[in-house]
Structures are given as structure tokens and as C-alpha cells.
Amino acid sequence: MSTDTSTNIQNKEFETESGILATIKELRHSGTAMGGLLIVSLLLVMAIVSTVDIVLLDKAIIKSLFADPHEMNTLQIYAPPSMEHPMGTDQYGRDVLARIIYGSRVALAIGIIAVGIGFFGGVTLGAFSAYKGGYVDDIIMRALETLYSIPGLVLAMTMMAILGPSIYNLFFAYGIIGIPAYARVIRSEVLSIREEEYIDAAKAAGLSNYKILFREIIPNGLSAVLVQATLSMGSVIIGAAALSFLGFGVQPPTASWGRMLNTAQSALLIAPWVAIFPGLMIFITVMGFNMLGDGLRDAMDPRTSLRSPKMEALEEYADRVADPTKADPVGSDDWLAGTALSGKDARNDATDGGERQ
């Protein structure tokens, strides 16, 4: 019998689509997720182009398009938006648009790297701690809570003072600061997930703790943390600006949105554009990541479909036309029976209600 089956299989395509590919395919059915993806990709393009520009081309691209983001012009201090400077100029007469484009490098790097460190560190520690329980849980969580109790800025400054004021240490410091928040969120999720029967089933099957943790538990608790990660993107960008302002991290004249926002405060009344545009960019960035994150969360959950019901029906119809011999989808009869039954039930309920009245 086994040989029969195995020859049978060779003809069929049973290879599982890799999880990431399936997720991205699913993502294209959601408008907001695609919007988020568009924003994030535009930012990425901006960041990559400006990095190439500054490292290899000596600002040739930005100069030909707009202006040198580092060039000061004392005659043009706080110039309002015009054709020459679409977003106006700052207190040294530098072009705000050029600086915003250059600032995307720092903003994205800090957003992605710092949030990434916090996310992976927090998820791993929190999930491990909740899964192990007992003393391990106590030790890890108390240590993280100690970290949490120190104000983020103070902790970051201390770390920067120890590690030295470089931009890479800034990423690292902000990553570490983020860990406790993620750890706490995932821990509470894992505490309930580890009581599920499928965890016992995995244990009884003999899977290793590592596999149970990363394949059974974490994927089921990830959605809450994913939202947290996209939301904290903005606060990290602004927080990094505060550190830069205090002399750690991003050093002038490197353009950074947070820093621009910070220095613009003193001239908010006479030159609001210097603050508005970097603020708007931070807002758009956070929104882009948030929309993408929301879409990702839904796409990763096999129980929710991002497809609209109409599209699904169309695709199913197309499938059937293409291959009329194909078997019905799982339990399609049950589905029908279920809907018919529920319809009847609803009617019964209605009549019952009527009678009672």
C-alpha cells in the first residue's frame, strides 16, 4: 500500500509554500497593508539613495535635485516654502526638503534596528521566561522590570556614556531599552498559550523545548507584540532625537528628523515649517509601519482571510472552471448544511421570540 501511495504523491504538488511567501501573497489582498508597504518602500528607497549619495557620490544626486543638505546660507535663514526651497529653510538657511530626505537614513535605521533588537530580544526572553516558569521566570522578569523602572532616556545616556557616543551604540541602547515592554506583552500571551492542549500534544510527541517555544508558542502570541512594535517606531525616532540633542548619538551636521524637530521648537511661531515637515514625516513613517504591521498580523493568521468574500468566490469559480474534476473544498457540504441550519435556527429563534411576546 505504501509504495502505491508514494508513487501517487510524486505527481501531486505537496510541497508546502514557505510561510513568508504565503504571507506576502495574502498581503496583496488588503488595501491598507499595501498602502503601508508603499510608504515603507518609498522611505526605504529614500534612505538607500541618500546613503549611496553621501557615501559614494559625495551628495551629487541631492545637489542636482534640490540642494546640499549641509550647506549653510546666512542670507536664507528661516525662509518660508518657495519654489527654490519647497519646504523652506532652517535656522542656518539649510534646505529642509534635502535634510528630510537625508534624515530618512537615520530615522529608518534607528526605527528598524532599535525596534528589531527590542522585538527579538523581548520576544525571546519573555516567551522563554513564561514557558519555563518558576525561578527562571522570576529571575528574568525581575531583571527586566528593573531595567523598565529606569527612565529610558537616563538609561540610554548611561549606556552611551559607557559605550561611547556613536550612532551604532544609539541603536543598541534604544534596542535594549525596548526589551522589557515586549517581554511583558509576550509573557502574558505565552502564559495563556502554554496551557493549551496543543502544547501538551507537542510535548507528548517528544518535540524539543526549543521547537515548542519557537513553533507552537511564539507564533500564536506574536500579534500583540507586532502592534506594539509598529507603534513604538515613532517614539524611538523621537527619543533618539532627544539623545542626539544632549550630545549623544547623531552628531551635527548629520540630518535627523528628530533633531530637526527638536531644534525647530525655538522658532515655532516664526517658522513653523521647520517643525511641521519633519513631524509629518515621522507621522507618515509610523503610520506606514503600523498599516503594514496590521496587515502582516492578519496575513500571518490562517484563520483570517484578507480577501474580500467577492474575490474569494471569484477565485473559487475560476479554480473550478480551470479544473472541473477537482474535489470540493473541505467540508463544503458541512458548510452548506451549517448555513442552512443556522438560517433555520435564526428563523426559529425569531418565531420563538414572537411567541414569547
Residues of this chain that interact with other proteins (CB under 8 A) are 1-2, 5-6, 8-9, 12, 14, 16, 196-198, 200-208, 211, 215-216, 219-220, 300-303, 327, 330-331, 334
The three cell numbers locating residue 316: 473559487
> What is the smallest separation between the CB atom of 299 and other proteins, expressed in angstroms?
12
Residue number with CB closer to other proteins (55 or 205): 205
> What is the smallest separation between the CB atom of 249 and other proteins, expressed in angstroms?
39
Phi, psi of 322 (to 5 degrees): -65, -35
Residue number with CB closer to other proteins (65 or 201): 201
Residue number with CB closer to other proteins (38 or 340): 340
**In whole angstroms, what is the distance from residue 82 CA to residue 105 CA?**
25
**In whole angstroms, what is the distance from residue 339 CA to residue 215 CA?**
34
> What is the smallest separation between the CB atom of 131 and other proteins, expressed in angstroms?
15
Q: If DSSP states are collapsed to H, E and C, what string results for 58-78?
A: CCHHHHHHCCCCCCCCHHHCC
Residue number with CB closer to other proteins (211 or 347): 211
> What is the smallest separation between the CB atom of 135 and other proteins, expressed in angstroms?
9
Angle between helices 273-300 and 218-245 (to 10 degrees): 170
Specify the 3-state DSSP secondary structure of 264.
helix
Strand runs labelled E in 77-169: none
On whether the CB atoms of residues 193 and 199 are closer than 8 A, the answer is: yes
Helix and strand totals (H; E) in the chain = 16, 0
> What is the smallest separation between the CB atom of 229 and other proteins, expressed in angstroms?
19
> What is the smallest separation between the CB atom of 9 and other proteins, expressed in angstroms?
6
Phi, psi of 95 (to 5 degrees): -70, 120
Residue number with CB closer to other proteins (68 or 301): 301
Specify the 3-state DSSP secondary structure of 311.
helix
Question: Closest by alpha carbon to 62, among 97, 86, 89, 104?
Answer: 97
Residue number with CB closer to other proteins (106 or 123): 123
Amino acid 243 reads L
> What is the smallest separation between the CB atom of 230 and other proteins, expressed in angstroms?
20
Residue number with CB closer to other proteins (23 or 166): 23
Q: Which 8-state DSSP code applies to residue 212?
A: I
